[in-house]
Amino acid sequence: MIQNQWYVILESREIRNNEVKGFTRFGEKIVAWRDGNGKLGVFRDKCPHRGIQLSLGKVKGNCLQCPFHGFEYDTTGKCILIPANGKASPPPDYIRTSVYPIREANGFVYAWYTAVPLSQEAISAMSFPEVPWFDDIDDSLIWSGFTDPWKAHYSRGIENQLDICHVPFIHRTTIGRGIGPLVNGPYTKTGTNFVSFWPSNEQDHGQKPLRPDQVPEPVKKGTYLTFIIPNIWQNHIMNSMRIVVAFVPVDDNNTLFYLRTYQSMIKLPVLRNIYFAATNLLNRIVLHQDRRVVQTHQPVPSALKMDEHLVQGDNPIIQYRKMREKLKSDI
C-alpha cells in the first residue's frame, strides 16, 4: 500500500443514516456509520475499552454504541459516555477510537491511509490535499454501476486496465473483436500522480510497431485512458460516455472493483434504465473475462523490479510501477 493517499473505500450510498457497517480495507477491520444527521464516521473496528468490534454495535443518538459495555463514541472517535461511570462522570480524553480521516465526494467515501493510526489531534493539525478525481466529469454525466470482487491484489487489477496488449485476446468476443494485436506506442502522458495513454492497435501485416516517440500527439482527446494514484481509473470513450473504476484494496489477496458507466446521451428515465442495464451487463462480462486470468498472477502484488519481461506496449504499466515505487520510497 502507498501511504499518505486518499483511497476510495466505499460508495456514500452504502451507509445510510443510523446505519453501521463493518468491512475490511487495507487488510484491517473497519467500521463505518452515520449518525442521525447523516454525519459519517470511519474507525478501526476495535473498541479501545476491551477490543470488541464496534461494527456489532448500534447508533444511539449521534453516537456509535459499543455492544459490550455501552461505551458511546461520536464521529471524531471521542468517547462521550461510559455507562458504568455514570452520566455525571466525563470520560477521560485518552479513551478514543482510532479514526480514519475521510472525505465524501463524487458519490464515494475516501479514507486517508497511513500504516500507523492517527490521533484526532494529529488529524486536526494536518493539511490534506484534494481527493483525486477527473476534472472532466461533472454533474452533466449520469451514472450507474456495480461492485465486483476479485481475488487479486489491487495493483494487479489496476495494471489490467493499463494493459493494451491483452485486449484482442482476452476480449476477442466482446470489446476486443476486430482489434489488431500490434501495438503502436502507445502515446503516453505522465505526471506525479497520473498516467494517460491513447491506444493505437492495428493488424499485423509484417510491419514493426511505431515507437512511442514516433506516435504523433493526438489532435483531439478522443478515446483515452487515465489512471490517478492511488486507485481510480477512467476510460474516456467519448465526451458523452465514460467508464470509471475504483480499485478498492480489501487485503493483499482481494480487491473490490467499483465500476461506473457515466453518460449524457440518454436522459429519459425508462430508456436510461434500459441503457444502464445493458451496459452494466456488458461491463460485468468484460470484467469477468479479465478476472479469470488476473487472479492467477504470480507473484500476487506487482513491483517495479520483478520476474517479468515487459514489452513496449506495456509502457503504461511501467509508468504506473515507477510512480508507485517512487511514492512508496518517499514515505
Beta bridge partners of 232: 228, 246
Residue 32's pLDDT is 98
* The amino acid at 42: V
119 pLDDT above the threshold of 80: no
For the segment 244-259, the average pLDDT, to the nearest whole number, is 98
Q: Could you tell me what percent of the chain has a pLDDT over 90?
A: 92
Supply the CATH classification number for the domain 5-125.
Answer: 2.102.10.10
- The three state secondary structure string of 163-222 is CCCCHHHHCCCCCCCCCCCEECCCEEEECCCEEEEECCEECCCCCCCCCHHHCCCCCCCC
Q: What is the mean pLDDT of residues 256-284?
A: 97
Predicted confidence at residue 124, as pLDDT, reads 84
Dist CA 21 CA 73 (whole Å): 15
What does the domain layout of the chain look like in residue ranges? Answer: 5-125, 142-329
pLDDT at site 37: 93
pLDDT average, residue stretch 19-31: 97
**Which residues touch 255 (CB under 8 Å, ≥6 apart)?**
149, 150, 152, 153, 154, 156, 157, 247, 248, 249
Q: The C-alpha cell of 246 is what?
A: 475504483
Residue 202 has pLDDT above 90, yes or no: yes
Among candidates 135, 114, 133, which has minimal Cα distance to 123? Answer: 114
pLDDT > 90? residue 243: yes
The yes-or-no verdict on residue 331 having pLDDT over 70 is no
> How much is the average pLDDT of 201-211?
97
What's the CA gap between 156 and 284, in Å, rounded?
A: 18
Q: Pairing mode, if any, of strands 187-190 and 108-113? A: unpaired
Q: Is pLDDT above 90 for 194?
A: yes
What average pLDDT score do residues 283-305 get?
A: 96
pLDDT tier, 96 (very low <50, low <70, confident <90, very high otherwise): very high
Give the torsion sign (CA, 215, 217, 325, 295). Answer: negative
| Contact predicate 57/67, CB 8 Å | yes
- Across the chain, what does the average pLDDT equal? 95
pLDDT band at 116 (very low <50, low <70, confident <90, very high): confident
Which cell numbers in the block locate residue 57?
454495535
130-156 confidence digits (pLDDT tens): 999 999 999 999 999 999 999 999 999
125 pLDDT higher than 90: no
- Is there a cis peptide before residue 186, judged by omega within 30 degrees of 0? yes
Does domain 142-329 sit in CATH 3.30.360.10?
Answer: no
Q: Give the residues across from 81 on adjacent strands.
A: 72
pLDDT of residue 247 exceeding 70: yes
Helices of type H across the chain = 120-125, 154-160, 167-170, 269-294, 315-329
Residue range 165-185, pLDDT digits in tens: 999 999 999 999 999 999 999
pLDDT surpassing 80 at residue 219: no
> How far is residue 262's CA from residue 140's CA, in Å, rounded to a whole number?
9
pTM of the predicted model as reported, rounded to 2 decimal places: 0.95
Q: Which of 115-129, 146-160, 168-182, 232-246 shows the lowest per-residue confidence on average (mean pLDDT)?
A: 115-129
Mean of the pLDDT values across residues 199-227?
92
